[in-house]
Amino acid sequence: MHIKKWMALSAACLSLGAAPVFAQETREFSVSTVLSEAFPWGQAASKWAELVKERSDGRITLKVYPNAQLVSGDQTREFSAMRSGLIDMAVGSTINWSTQVPEANLFSLPFLMPDNAAVDAITQGKAGQIVFDAIEKRGIVPLAWGENGFRELSNSRGILTQPADLKGLKVRVVGSPLFLDTFNALGANPTQMSWTDALPALTTGAVDGQENPLSVFDVARADRANQKYLTLWHYMNDPLIFGASKRVWSKLSTADQQLLKQAAYDAGQWEIAKSRAELDATLKSIRDRGVEVTALTPEQHQAFVTATQGVYKKWIPKIGEDLVEAAQAAITNR
């Protein structure tokens, strides 16, 4: 009897000492992007998803929804949809988020950033952190930077080398008031419309021109939409931001937060390097299709800078004087 009791007690102790093994919960999160995998923007999101799946051993899945599907094609609604929890995560544009985050308009100030080194000096320094802090205050956790690139100007009318050449030019722009102010300052006739609506409008001649990174011009075949003249004027750059809804982020473990953030950083660095390395080949492809490409001289560039100074006077108070000064200092010291 004593032996049986001892055996039963021993078995109970063994069962209590053994750690139970549970299968780790698998999670799927939605990721919104405006462009598909055919573009560097979409590739950034796909790379993020790939790294997260690999590093979590398939426990965390990021399902990418391109073409702003989750907001019915209206990319300007992406930020508010994330904030409300309708979208879990995104690789978003500073332009599209700027209507909810005024500080994000920094990158749309005309001719602020002359080169990639200037962009990096802003995003990786004090100014970039100020923008990230502003985003987080509004309900989105920013994780890392990506890049959509410098936006260049194309049109069907002719070569553009001075502000006077833009007089009356009907230009499709994105849904940001700052863009309207910039092109109005140059004497153009800017029209806000989605990219889906822009291509037919360009094809029929209802709109004369558009501004976009070279990768978008190339993949979307804007040359087939009467865009036979392309001006390399580097008038603004559109950094991408990997972000997550605070509603989702707050429910993740510290380890998973770190995994997602590091994967976003690595995907962003990969995409920035890849897109910049491909620019020369992209430009050659555009030229080979018969598009006449014009690069501004320093004197021509300065004329555009001078013509848009009024935009700064209007927008610096909205963006934040301290932020703009931090960005300008970073550029000067790059």
Specify the pLDDT at position 181.
Answer: 97
DSSP calls for 14-43: HHHHSPP--PPPPEEEEEE-SS-TTSHHHH
Can you give the pLDDT of all 334 residues of the chain as single tens digits? 444 444 444 444 444 444 343 346 799 999 999 999 999 999 999 999 999 999 999 999 999 999 999 998 888 899 999 999 899 999 999 999 999 999 999 999 999 999 999 999 999 999 999 999 999 999 999 999 999 999 999 999 999 999 999 999 999 998 789 999 999 999 999 999 888 889 999 999 999 999 999 999 999 999 999 999 999 999 999 999 999 999 999 999 999 999 999 999 999 999 999 999 999 999 999 999 999 999 999 999 999 999 999 999 999 999 999 999 999 999 999 9
- How far apart, in whole angstroms, are the C-alpha atoms of residue 14 and residue 297? 81
Q: Residue 158 CA to chain centroid, in angstroms? A: 30
How far is the C-alpha of 166 from the C-alpha of 154, rounded, in Å? Answer: 11
Q: What is the pLDDT of residue 185?
A: 98
- What are the strands, taking DSSP E only, across 97-195? 140-155, 170-173, 189-192
Say if CB 259 and CB 55 are below 8 A apart: yes
140-155 vs 89-93, strand pairing mode: unpaired
CATH number of the domain located at residue range(s) 3-332 in this protein: 3.40.190.170
Report pLDDT for 8.
45
| pLDDT score of 175 | 78
